[in-house]
Chains A and B, each alone.
Chain A
Amino acid sequence: MQLNLRNRISFFYLVSTGILFGLVFFVIYFSVRETVYRHMDEDLDAESNEIEKNLVVINDRFVIANAFEWNEREHGQIEVNPVFVQVVDTSGKLVKKTGNLLNGKLSFNPSLKNQIYFNTSLSGAQVRQLQLPIKNPVGTALGYIIVAMPLDESADVLLNLLIILESTYWMVLFVLFYVTRFIAGKSISPINKVISTAERITKENLGERIELPAHKDEIYKLTSTINELLNRLEDAVLREKQFTSDASHELRTPLSIIKGTLEVLIRKSRSVEQYESKINYCIREVDRMSSIVEQLLMLARYESGKVVPVINKLNLNEAVESVLTRLNLLLEEKKIKVNYNQTENISVAADYSMLGVILENLISNAIKYSPEEKQIDINVSSAGSNVVCEIKDYGIGISSDQVGKVFDRFYRADESRNSGITGNGLGLAIVKKLADLQNLTIMITSEESKGTSIQITFPS
């Protein structure tokens, strides 16, 4: 059976209090019963003692010495607190009985050899009975004294008690069920509020938050946890939105340029030179677009987790040298000198091609944002068990409030945007992604118009 939380709480509460109440009532009933029986048993004892005193045991026989006792009022009548006494021999043959027994006979159980109290009936009425063996000095039973008292009154009391306890028990449970249901409902109502607010929140109104309850209880904690989750989700969605918007902007701009330029170009006939210059211009824009698409695809591939880096021990110097050779043309064009401070035979654990992409992006950035005839420092050093590769330029730098964002996709710091240097803001995003894949740490420090330093730390 599928119960909702509210009913489940009341059900469990009900079962546990039911068991507890049952136990308490059980103890009450049985202790009362015990007390009642003990009192009766004491009376029976007293009576049997009297009888025993009047018995004289001689060898294997006993005789009743004083008959006077037998004629007491309580033994003669049956109306008020009668006490029935009967003496039997070991075979159960009647020796003597009180007058109030009339034709009745108290039941005798020869198998019970010791003193014993039990409930039985006498002529249809309930009695409490004591059966006491009469013993000679060596301990042989010669006969039995049987004393009985009516049980009706006590049984009535016990029955009443039982009825009251039982009816109270069910009533208490019944009331308790509704009370707990009410309390449980009340105490989980904040959860319902949380549910209804949470249900309302979709991708469109992710900014909405669940109102925090006044008391700092579990509900408060649940609510604030959900709110924090929403914060993280909103952040991710916003970042995704920003990315889509940036990507569409970056792709639409060259498209707009190509489309507009060509449309204006064919509005009328022009000279061959004009056609050539405009078409070449458009080709450059197409190149720019394809490089964005290429880099976006690369980023998507790395982010999908389908590309697994192949980590090998490789020579960092060789990697840097080969990137420098590839960038030689760019360096010569801007007459930039590379001050490469290498340390012999430093090996690092990295993916060869990924490391190449990282170094090429970082060094070409350094070249791109350096003025002509400046220098770039590349330092490789080992700090403790880690190897650090630093690439430092003396170019335009990045202002401190933007330096943290340069790894975001499509982000370009104002300095870079305003510099007239082309770029699409994807290079460093790729670098970051590749570094994360290989567990490399990238640190960037920069000062506006002083230059930028990037440190790659390789784990040992």
Chain B
Amino acid sequence: MRILVVEDEKGISNFLKDGLEEESFAVDVAADGKKGLELSFVNEYDLILLDWMIPGISGIEVCRQIRKTNSSVPIIFLTAKDTVSDTVFGLESGANDYIKKPFRFEELLARIRVQLRTKDGEQNILKLANVEMNLDTHRVFADSKEIMLTQKEFSLLEFLIRNKEKVCTRTKIIEHVWDMHFDSDTSVIDVYINFLRKKLDDGSGKSFIQTIRGVGYIAREK
């Protein structure tokens, strides 16, 4: 899952990036509204964290611009403003949620998950074949046995299961699992897919992650 953080305070964007990356999100940071808009148009994000008061184009304006393009990407406002009218104003401009600074990081995570869940209509527990993954606790089970995954493996698996029964192209995988600093060598995906297949192997010799040659991968019930 790839998140765009639009925040001018370096201190805040720093810990957001660190914390979210540890939670297996790919995170891009924009320090002003203009840059934020640019990135949101160029890349496909699963969620945008938007500060209200940023230099250049304001957070509200960024939100409106994004919504104008018919994008339904979930947007959460981060702001120090806290009056009811501010909240209403923020939500009316197209934001999905609103979190007041200073916030608890855990609360932000929970809200991000709620947005991602409502987007897909899913629970925080994803299931496919013999695999069950809990997004809150970050634990993965195969045939009820806990499997230890790295962050990248976890986020790749999450992306594939969220898009189960759909072909995930290499580009899409790169866009949603890796951040913008990733160089475009997509062979790294194959490496991680192999890791996943090995760790989640049920002994049947056939993985639920299947290769679509020349296109990408698909996760489906066997």
Contacts and interface: CB of A to CB of B under 8 A. Distances in A.
Interface of A: 245, 248-249, 252-261, 263-264, 267-268, 281, 285, 414, 417-418
Given A252-B102, A256-B102, A264 B18 contact: yes
Contacts of B11: 253-254, 256-257, 260-261, 281, 285
A267 B16 contact: no
Contacts, number: 65
Contact of B12 (A260, A263, A267): A260
- Of A254, A258, A260, the most chain B CB neighbours within 10 A belong to A260
Which of the four size classes fits the interface of chain B? 20 to 34
Contacts of A258: 102
Given A260-B102, A417-B55, A268 B22 contact: yes
Given A256-B9, A258-B102, A281-B11, 5 more contacts: A249-B53, A252-B101, A253-B101, A260-B103, A264-B22
Q: Which 6 A-B pairs have the closest CB atoms?
A: A257-B11, A264-B19, A256-B102, A263-B105, A256-B101, A260-B15
A418 B35 CA distance: 13
- Of A245, A253, A258, the most chain B CB neighbours within 10 A belong to A253
Interface of B: 8-9, 11-12, 14-16, 18-19, 22, 32, 53, 55, 80-82, 101-106
- Of A248, A267, A268, the most chain B CB neighbours within 10 A belong to A267
B9 A263 contact: no
A234 to B, nearest CB: 17
A256 B106 contact: no
Given A252-B101, A285-B11, A245 B18 contact: no
Chain A interface helix/strand/loop/mixed: helix
Contacts of A260: 11-12, 15-16, 19, 102-103, 105
A259 B9 contact: no
A249 B19 contact: no
Nearest to A266: B105
B12 A253 contact: yes
Contacts of A418: 32, 55
B5 to A, nearest CB: 12
Contacts of B8: 417
Nearest to A260: B15
Contacts of B22: 264, 267-268
16 contacts: A252-B101, A253-B12, A256-B11, A256-B12, A256-B101, A257-B12, A260-B11, A260-B19, A263-B104, A264-B18, A267-B19, A267-B22, A268-B22, A417-B55, A418-B32, A418-B55
